[in-house]
């Protein structure tokens, strides 16, 4: 969530937000555990959600707990998301701040001075910036997404990943929301997605940029995916001393000689140095290093998983060599798998959308990306047939056109219609309203970026500051009214 000063619209690093949120959660009867880094609170963990930060104190992040169908599925998740958003908006008043309906702040610096002021001091950034040479500050202007994370059976995991990568153009176009950067029009509807080429431009390792680009063809199985991810030419990320799941903060080891993960796993041991103390150590390859390294790629979708138990490394390597061997291994070791969708720009209800589309479409803006992904994953056969009709290469070209023109591009709009139709068929009748925002964008061929550009161009402003304040006033996030029909869509939580 893009944070801004409520009166001026300028990017703002929160200071009083977490104490105010803690008090609000306590008043609501929720227990919250504070998580600190460098002596500052960076998150509050409750039973239902983690309220935290992404890369900077100017970029909030809320992650809800997983919800199963038996708990209400998408409808229950919608209730959690709306309740969490209400908590956040209320707590931000302590900083005189608001959330902007934007996937990138329209006017925010990306220089090193700003980066040092607002960046969250996570241990992982020492490696990414100091060792690998990433231009991490390119993303410090509050680039945000509505991350859709949907569980999938192990045997369907690669199919679901292929669908999310192949049909990315539709997810980009429907939820594009960043036409402005550094106080100017960019000529793109979703500028946010240009961040990865810029971040990796200074990397010491060409493989880092390779893992942000689309593969030349769909993946055949899990083994094929992980061979692509850990192939020669890539360089392993630092690896944990012991199995932990907080990959941004765990003590890790940088391997000498910068091998690929595949090369490391085939060795008996490898020397390196700790990222936290600089101490020299020798690391023995383990299945935990394979599991940890799933974070290494930055495509439009990621396959994420956790194993209930770790197999011996020799068993994992043998399975990796067999067609669909990793599928069998993951099943045997209780893998919990989901697809992390990374395309949809962050979007929330604002006054302009409420006036234009009404309360149901505005309220559904947060959940539409999740509903779209969920629906597609329930209809994988239909989604794969749709991809086959268009072809992998053409779909990747449409993704670039979606970033630039959104639904002004007739072919992109046609693809969006087909994708929404397939996804809608995968939703239950009671879930259909969660696609109301996506349907509104299709009907009007106007995404959030178009509405923001209208405000930017029509602002009755004498200077840049007045223009920004006008845009922020029109596009700050508001909670839409809930009518009787909407209230009955999901169970109270």
Q: pLDDT digits over 111-155, tens only? A: 999 999 999 999 899 999 999 999 999 999 999 999 999 999 999
CA dist list (Å): 341 to 187, 296, 302, 419, 469: 24, 15, 7, 15, 32
β-strand 49-53 against 336-341: which pairing, if any? unpaired
Contact 176, 449 (CB under 8 A): yes
Q: At the top level of CATH, which class does the domain 2-213+342-487 belong to?
A: alpha beta
Residues 6+ away with beta carbon under 8 Å from 106: 9, 100, 180, 181, 183, 452, 456, 468, 471
Residue 26's φ and ψ, nearest 5 degrees, are -60, -45
Residue 128: what pLDDT?
Answer: 95
Cα distance between residue 161 and residue 218, in whole Å: 9
Q: How far apart are CA 81 and CA 438, in angstroms?
A: 18
> How many DSSP H helices and E strands does the chain contain?
23, 15
Whole-angstrom Cα distance, residue 398 to residue 318?
38
492, 491, 376: which is closest to 435 by C-alpha?
376
Q: What is the distance between the alpha carbons of residues 98 and 478, in angstroms, rounded to a whole number? A: 9
51 contacts 44 by C-beta, under 8 angstroms: yes
Residues in the chain: 493
Sequence-distant (≥ 6) Cβ neighbours of residue 34 within 8 angstroms = 18, 22, 41, 43, 44
- At 24 the pLDDT is 97
Full pLDDT tens readout for the chain, 493 residues: 999 999 999 999 999 999 999 999 999 999 999 999 989 999 999 999 999 999 999 999 999 999 999 999 999 999 999 999 999 999 999 999 999 999 999 999 999 999 999 999 998 999 999 999 999 999 999 999 999 999 999 999 999 999 999 999 999 999 999 999 999 999 999 999 999 999 999 899 999 999 999 999 999 999 999 999 999 999 999 999 987 666 556 789 999 999 999 999 999 999 999 998 999 999 999 999 999 999 999 999 999 999 999 999 999 999 999 999 999 999 999 999 999 999 999 999 999 999 999 999 999 999 999 999 999 999 999 999 999 999 999 999 999 999 999 999 999 999 999 999 999 999 999 999 999 999 999 999 999 999 999 999 999 988 999 999 999 999 999 998 765 334 444 444 4
Query: Using CA atoms, how far apart are residues 466 and 226, in angstroms rounded to an integer?
Result: 50
Arithmetic mean of pLDDT over the chain = 95
Distance of CA 113 to the CA centre of its chain: 26
Strands 40-45, 33-37: parallel, antiparallel or unpaired by DSSP? antiparallel
Q: At 370, give phi and psi (nearest 5°).
A: -70, -45
The pTM of the full predicted model, rounded to 2 decimals, is 0.95
pLDDT at 489: 47
Query: What residue segments make up the domains of the chain, in order of their start?
Result: 2-213+342-487
**Looking at residue 249, what is its pLDDT?**
61
Q: Angle 368-378/380-390 helices, nearest 10 degrees?
A: 90
């Amino acid at each position: 969530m893009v944070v801004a000063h409520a009166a001026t619209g300028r990017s703002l690093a929160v200071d009083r937000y977490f104490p105010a949120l803690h008090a609000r959660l306590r008043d609501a009867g929720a227990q919250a555990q504070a998580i600190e880094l460098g002596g500052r609170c960076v998150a509050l963990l409750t039973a239902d959600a983690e309220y935290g930060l992404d890369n900077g104190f100017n970029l909030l992040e809320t992650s809800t707990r997983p919800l199963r169908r038996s708990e209400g599925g998408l409808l229950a998740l919608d209730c959690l998301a709306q309740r969490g958003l209400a908590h956040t908006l209320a707590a931000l008043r302590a900083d005189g701040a608001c959330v902007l309906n934007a996937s990138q702040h329209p006017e925010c610096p990306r220089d090193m001075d700003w980066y040092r002021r607002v960046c969250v001091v996570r241990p992982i950034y020492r490696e990414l910036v100091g060792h690998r040479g990433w231009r991490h500050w390119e993303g410090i202007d509050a680039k945000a997404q509505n991350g859709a994370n949907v569980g999938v059976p192990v045997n369907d995991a690669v199919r679901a990943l292929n669908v999310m990568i192949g049909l990315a153009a539709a997810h980009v176009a429907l939820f594009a929301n960043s036409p402005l950067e550094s106080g100017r029009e960019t000529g793109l509807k979703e500028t946010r997605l240009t961040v990865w080429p810029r971040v990796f431009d200074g990397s010491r390792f060409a493989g880092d940029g390779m893992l942000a680009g689309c593969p030349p063809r769909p993946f055949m199985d899990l083994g094929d995916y992980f061979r692509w991810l850990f192939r020669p030419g890539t360089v392993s990320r630092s690896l944990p001393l012991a199995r932990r799941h907080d990959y941004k903060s765990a003590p890790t080891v940088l391997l000498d000689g910068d091998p690929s993960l595949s090369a490391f796993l085939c060795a008996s041991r490898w020397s390196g140095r700790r990222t936290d103390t600089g101490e020299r150590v020798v690391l023995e390859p383990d299945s935990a290093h394979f599991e940890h390294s799933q974070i290494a790629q930055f495509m439009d979708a990621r396959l994420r998983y956790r194993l209930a138990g770790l197999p011996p490394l020799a068993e994992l390597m043998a399975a990796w060599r067999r067609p669909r061997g990793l599928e069998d291994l993951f099943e045997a070791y209780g893998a919990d798998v989901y697809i992390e969708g990374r395309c949809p720009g962050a979007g929330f209800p604002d006054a302009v959308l409420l006036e234009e589309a009404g309360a149901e479409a505005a309220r559904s803006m947060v959940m539409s990306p999740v509903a779209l992904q969920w629906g597609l994953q329930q209809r994988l056969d239909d989604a794969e047939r749709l991809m086959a009709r268009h072809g992998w290469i053409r779909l990747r070209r449409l993704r670039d056109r979606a970033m630039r023109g959104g639904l002004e591009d007739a072919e992109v709009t046609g693809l969006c219609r087909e994708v929404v139709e397939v996804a809608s068929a995968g939703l239950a009748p009671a879930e259909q309203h969660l696609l109301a925002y996506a349907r509104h964008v299709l009907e009007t061929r106007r995404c959030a970026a178009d509405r923001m550009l209208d405000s930017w161009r029509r602002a009755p402003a004498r200077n840049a500051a007045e223009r920004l304040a006008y845009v922020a006033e029109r596009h700050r996030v508001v909670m839409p009214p809930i009518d009787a029909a909407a209230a009955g869509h999901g169970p109270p939580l």
